[in-house]
Amino acid sequence: MRKFFPVDSLARDSRFNQITMKQSQADPRSALIATEEKRPKTNRLQPSRADASDAARSLMHGIFVGEIQALEGAGRTCHDFETGTEAPFALKLDMARQAWDEARHVEISVKLSEWMGTEIGQYAENTVLFEAACSTDPVLRLAGVNRALEGLAIDVFTTMKEFGDIAGDPFLEFCEDWMLADEVTHVKMGSDWLRRITENDPERRKKALEFQSVVDKIFSFGGTRSDSQESPIGLARRFRELAGFSDDEVEDIADVSLRALEERKAFARQAQAEAVEQFSAS
């Protein structure tokens, strides 16, 4: 088995259809830029949305495939780096622990999806999560995956937990509560290792933080997560603090997310104009 596994080789059974972030972002359609009359008042995932249960099911499936990729990423970090010379033994133990946690999260997500009436593979699987787990520097992986991606997981689970709570769904709220506890632990692992490994290597720390912010921006999914009500997912400030983010870091993510939202809207406007132009030319 080789070291470093490419994202396009992730093994899946026939139910799954994978798309890359690039393919998903090329979609010129966007609910964000619809005219006032057509646009819902808020995109935030809450039970008052008319399409709440379908939106929750779709997000749940996104969580499910995200958990699979998180499991795969943590597993790969156990394998890809030589103990001692490339990654500390204790870091790899943390990653093995995370693999178990993510395996449980997959189990939980499968059960929840069944409960919500979603079939495995019913939605396309965006492989962006694993893409961040492909870095050849374990510190970058931890910054990109544990801090950026699992930070997003904290935001998503918080939103889902509130959703379950308001809707009175006993399982959703219960499961998200448990998964949230694990994710806070994973983000903290990322924060701790980043600090420890780069203690005497400011250059490497800078690179890792830059990578994290790139990933943060990608994971803002063009505005899917931000403080704005236009975003389906909110920013879970309190849990992020628990996970080792400083106030400044949380503010930075808030800024990046809002910028990503605006960029996504601008992109969609342009892509739609181009599509119309191409169509009228043909």
- Subset of residues 31 to 90 that bind another protein, contact rule: CB under 8 A: 31, 34, 38, 40, 47-48, 50-54, 57-58, 68, 71-72, 74-80, 83-84, 89
* CB of 113 closer than 8 Å to CB of 146: no
**Reduced to 3 states, what is the DSSP secondary structure of residue 280?**
helix
**Reduced to 3 states, what is the DSSP secondary structure of residue 44?**
coil
Query: Could you say which of another protein, Fe ion, none residue 150 binds, taking C-beta under 5 to 8 angstroms by partner kind?
Result: Fe ion
Q: Among 150, 155, 162, 230, which residue interacts with Fe ion (rule: CB under 5 A)?
A: 150
* 9 touches another protein (CB under 8 A): yes
Q: Which is nearer to another protein, 203 or 281 (CB)?
A: 281
Query: Could you say which of another protein, Fe ion, none residue 186 binds, taking C-beta under 5 to 8 angstroms by partner kind?
Result: Fe ion
Q: Among 59, 63, 91, 99, which residue interacts with another protein (rule: CB under 8 A)?
A: 99
For another protein, the binding residues in 199-238 under the rule CB under 8 A are: none
The residues near 107 (Cβ < 8 Å, ≥ 6 apart) are none
* 281 touches another protein (CB under 8 A): no
Q: Shortest gap between Cβ of 166 and Fe ion (angstroms)?
A: 23
**Reduced to 3 states, what is the DSSP secondary structure of residue 26?**
coil
* CB of 156 closer than 8 Å to CB of 63: yes
Look up residue 117 and give its DSSP letter. T
**Stretch near Fe ion under the rule CB under 5 A, chosen from 117-125, 145-153, 199-207, 217-225:** 145-153
CA angle 162, 213, 264 (to 5 degrees): 70
For Fe ion, the binding residues in 70-129 under the rule CB under 5 A are: 70, 102, 105
The residues near 76 (Cβ < 8 Å, ≥ 6 apart) are 4, 5, 133
**Stretch near another protein under the rule CB under 8 A, chosen from 123-131, 176-184, 185-193, 250-258:** 123-131
Query: Could you say which of Fe ion, another protein, none residue 77 binds, taking C-beta under 5 to 8 angstroms by partner kind?
Result: another protein
Q: Among 8, 41, 111, 119, which residue interacts with another protein (rule: CB under 8 A)?
A: 119
Q: Which is nearer to Fe ion, 155 or 183 (CB)?
A: 183
Q: Which is nearer to Fe ion, 105 or 225 (CB)?
A: 105
Which sign does the torsion angle of CA 83, 211, 123, 257 carry?
positive
* CB of 75 closer than 8 Å to CB of 99: yes
Q: Shortest gap between Cβ of 206 and another protein (angstroms)?
A: 29
Q: Which is nearer to another protein, 170 or 210 (CB)?
A: 170
Q: How many residues bind another protein (CB under 8 A)?
A: 76
Q: What single string gives the DSSP state of each residue in 183-203? A: HHHHHHHHHHHHHHHTTT-HH
> Of 45, 13, 20, whose CA–CA distance to 120 is shortest?
13
Query: Could you say which of another protein, Fe ion, none residue 9 binds, taking C-beta under 5 to 8 angstroms by partner kind?
Result: another protein
* 147 touches Fe ion (CB under 5 A): no
Buried b (16+ CB within 10 A) or exposed e, 197-207: bbeeeeebbeb
Dmax of the chain from CA atoms? 61
Alpha carbon distance 175, 153 (integer Å): 13
* Interface contacts to Fe ion, rule CB under 5 A: 67, 70, 102, 105, 150, 183, 186
